[in-house]
Amino acid sequence: MSYEIIGISVLWIFLYGYLIVASVDFGAGFFAYYAKTTKKDHIINQLISRYLSPVWEVTNVFFVFFFVGIIGFFPETAYYYGTALLVPASIAIILLAIRGSFYAFENYGSKQSNVYMFLYGATGLLIPASLSIALTLSEGGFIVEENGIVSLQYLALFTSPYAWSVVFLAIVSVLYISAAFLTFYAARANDKPALQLVRKYALFWSVPTIIASLTTFIALSQHNERHFEAMLDLWWMFGLSVAFFMIAMWLIYIGKYYGLAFISVMLQFFFAFFGYGRGHLPYILDPYITINEGATNETMAIALIAAFIGGLLLLVPSLILLMKLFLFNADYVKGKK
């Protein structure tokens, strides 16, 4: 296995970690606001707050690792994406800053505010929508280089069915993943009213998620036939993804083994996400950057791989410790601490 494959695999693991952890965070913020507007905040908002308090500050660690790593491993990404994503990335950064600020104001301020909750909930949907643009651009057809100048074709982007299908998939996936985790978390807390509510959320958002996945798959076949055919060759990965989706929904529907249900959700997205990534290779940005031609020199790559594997080995135990101390601590989950 070449160092390019190892490097992109490590980075994809970090991005997958961010997908799961950030989805729970973003979706929980939206559900907190939705519960408040529907006068059900007394049922689930304490549960959501107990989850978010110890976790929200470490959510972006995965994203920072991926962002630094992709530029380190593949320097040309800074040239192409740095110009093309100037506006979308700036919007995402502003939304992240707003989210963090208003979360602090809402939870540590002297009084609660509907404006704070609205901004916190809205950014939970807008951030994944804005970040998903990077994956859309990687398929090609939106970034053009002419006379050494890189530009983003905004008209092509905003009129692309594939681009909008990815945005829709990003939003509903966030809500589905978050609802599935909160269902498990409410069961751990033995909070039956909250469990019944978030369980309904999980079942409801599962339908748009599977529809959005199929829609994106079809739209990709029209936009990038090479990637689509490569994904068809990996049909078994997407078959496993669908199988784990059905397992998760069945367990949540019958009201048993919520922990196993959320693990199934994670595996559902694991196989779909890695199937998508494997089918995308060798391109990072079609047709400009490939993992072979765009990679840094071997010495630098080996050093980065060692550093990032070390970071992964440090980050994962830290998260496990965080979960043991807070998320899976019986007294803390039940609100006794």
Q: Give the model's pLDDT for residue 245.
A: 94
Q: Give the model's pLDDT for residue 52.
A: 59
Q: Give the model's pLDDT for residue 55.
A: 60
Report which secondary-structure segment, H or E, holds 194: helix 192-223
Q: What whole-number distance in Å separates Cα of residue 150 and Cα of residue 147?
A: 8
| Cβ atoms within 10 Å of 97's Cβ, excluding its own | 11
Query: For residue 303, which amino acid is it?
Result: A
DSSP string covering 44-65: HHHHHHHHHHHHGGGTTHHHHH
Q: Which tens digit of pLDDT belongs to each residue from 107-131?
A: 555 456 677 778 777 888 888 888 8
DSSP string covering 248-273: HHHHHHHT--HHHHHHHHHHHHHHHH
Write out the residue range of the structural domain in which residue 292 sits. Answer: 3-333
Q: Give the model's pLDDT for residue 252.
A: 92
- 144: helix, coil or strand? strand
- Tokens 């404006």 belong to which residue? 115
Q: Count up the domains in the chain and report the number.
A: 1
Task: Say if CB 10 and CB 305 are below 8 A apart.
Answer: yes
Q: Give the model's pLDDT for residue 157.
A: 86
Q: Which tens digit of pLDDT belongs to each residue from 28-62?
A: 888 888 888 887 767 776 766 665 555 656 677 77
Report which secondary-structure segment, H or E, holds 137: helix 114-137
**Residues lower than pLDDT 50 in the chain:** 110
Stated pTM of the model:
0.87
Q: What whole-number distance in Å separates Cα of residue 306 and Cα of residue 26?
A: 31
